A and B are shown apart, each in its own frame.
Chain A
Amino acid sequence: MPRRLILPMCLAALVAFLIAGITPLTSYASEKLPSKSDQSCLKCHDYDKQENVLAGKLKEVSVKANCLQLQIDKGMDVILFDESTVLKNAPSMPEIPKGESVKITYFKKDGKTFAKEVEVKKGLEVPKEQLISTEEVEKLVAKGPKEGKYILLDSRPPNMFNEGHIPTAASMPFFAFDKLAEKLLSDKDALQIYYCAGFS
């Protein structure tokens, strides 16, 4: 969508909303609507199995027009918000970094899309004491799981594991974590080390 069209579109949507809008927005929020999610979000979340969710990358926020633009895969969605919209993990709408992943719980009113809640993805920071370095993993792998008393778990999808993984690792795709936990994590005392394709 051309950028210069966003503001007029937002304004048009806002006007429509003001005309219709004596009722508070949230009273419309009970209707069940299909979810739409960027592929990148579905790697870790099952939004496709939930309702009323729009998940994607934030492109633009216009405070003047109380609207934001969300990119979901190659498509763009324009979503309205107001004071009743709950914002999580960010101090204010304009302070959400552009391109950040956001999950929006939405409802429809008069054909327009409104945000009931905007949740900004929490940075997946790992506490320092939980991190393990390449050198430490190298030492353990050289000893092997038995002597090193560890279990090394690859969180990536199975096909990536099959193509190439760290020696002595077991495949434990994140999607199947719950299913595999009982089988793979039987040794309660062993050190568990999780890895994947890094920070990307």
Chain B
Amino acid sequence: MLSPLAARKAEKLGFKNVKVYHAGLPDWKKAGNIVVSNIAGIEELDKLEMPYILLDVRSPDDISKGHIPNAIAIPKEGLESIKGQFPTYKAAPVIVYDQSGVGDSAKTTFKEIAGWDYKQVSILSVGFHGWQTAGKTVATGPAGTKISYVRKLFPGEIELKGFMVELEKPSANTIILDVRMPSEVQDGVLPNTKQIPLDDLEAKLSDIPKDKLVLVHCATGARAEMAYNVLKNAGYNVKFVRAKLEFDKEKKGAYKFEE
């Protein structure tokens, strides 16, 4: 929602030829276009200790002479051969680079990974050449061959995988709480869940046994996180899941739940 505001400011400054690409980055990605990142993006991830996958698409010879630390080389058998090493978490940042920017092999790799439904794929716009020119640390010898991405969980978060185990086979010591609005609950509910809208949660704490582990979900994870904070402050042992839940409008009871 920032771009229309920026356009208004530009017009106030007297610019006449101002347009707004309102659909923005989400639609740009959906249309299958390339997204680029920069060196600062990698440095920020490092600083926050957020894990990411860095892929070097150049030849083994070039890689040996120098590559970005933590890079993984694409094996000669092709990208497909390491597909199984990619995480189930589709929002994992994946950065692809070649020698000097957005070359064909970087583009092909980008499109293949984006085609696997990964949401945060980018090509390092300046390539290895830009990295080196900027005086950043360069590693020599062969690059890594195995992707080992371990997702960093948010405080109080439970991975969807673990949540699903509890959902399908609930243990007696667990209660699963759905904090969506009544209007959303109409679309469907997950099995073995108890519905209390976030708005009513504080008033209905007495309905939730204190001696159990409480797992909270909503439709995106945002309200589940708020509920987590409410319950944690009230002394509960609680975790929340950060994933998008959609019920099938055609098929009753069918749903899609993904991180």
Residues of A within 8 A of B (CB): 1-4, 43-44, 59, 74, 124-126, 130-134, 137-138, 141, 152-153, 155-156, 158-159, 161-167, 172, 174, 177-178, 181, 185, 188-200
* Chain B residues whose CB sits within 8 angstroms of the CB of A193 once the complex forms: 19-21
Q: Does B195 contact A (CB under 8 A)?
A: no
| Choice from A124, A188, A198 contacting B24 with Cβ under 8 Å | A198
Of all chain A residues, which has the CB nearest B15? A192
Which residues of chain B from 1 to 49 have a CB within 8 Å of any chain A CB? 1-7, 9-10, 13, 15, 17-28, 31, 33-38, 40-41, 44-45
Q: Does B174 contact A (CB under 8 A)?
A: no
Of all chain B residues, which has the CB nearest A188? B15
Q: How far, in whole Å, are A138 and B35 apart by their CA atoms in the complex?
A: 12
**CB of B53 to closest CB in A, whole Å:** 13
Of all chain A residues, which has the CB nearest B14? A188
Contact A164 B37 (CB under 8 A): yes
Q: Does B226 contact A (CB under 8 A)?
A: yes
* Chain B residues whose CB sits within 8 angstroms of the CB of A172 once the complex forms: 6
Residues of B within 8 A of A (CB): 1-7, 9-10, 13, 15, 17-28, 31, 33-38, 40-41, 44-45, 93, 102, 120-122, 125, 199-200, 202-203, 226, 229-230
**CB of A35 to closest CB in B, whole Å:** 20
Contact A195 B25 (CB under 8 A): yes
Q: How far, in whole Å, are A137 and B24 apart by their CA atoms in the complex?
A: 10
Q: How far, in whole Å, are A65 and B25 apart by their CA atoms in the complex?
A: 45
Which 4 pairs from chain A and chain B are nearest by CB? A162-B41, A2-B203, A155-B2, A195-B21
| Choice from A2, A130, A156 contacting B18 with Cβ under 8 Å | A130
Contact A196 B10 (CB under 8 A): no
Contact A167 B36 (CB under 8 A): yes
Known: A74-B226, A164-B36, A174-B5. A159 touches B17 (CB 8 A): no
Interface centre among A3, A59, A134, A158 (most CB of B within 10 A): A134
Contact B13 A181 (CB under 8 A): yes
| Choice from A43, A130, A166, A188 contacting B20 with Cβ under 8 Å | A130
| Choice from B19, B33, B200 contacting A3 with Cβ under 8 Å | B200
Q: How far, in whole Å, are A159 and B9 apart by their CA atoms in the complex?
A: 22
Known: A159-B44, A166-B35. A197 touches B25 (CB 8 A): yes
Contact B120 A163 (CB under 8 A): yes
Of all chain B residues, which has the CB nearest A73? B226
Known contacts A131-B19, A172-B6, A191-B19, then 16 further A-B pairs from the complex at CB < 8 Å, ordered by chain A residue = A43-B2, A124-B4, A124-B5, A131-B20, A131-B22, A138-B31, A153-B6, A158-B40, A163-B93, A185-B10, A188-B15, A191-B18, A193-B20, A194-B7, A197-B25, A199-B1
Of all chain B residues, which has the CB nearest A135? B31
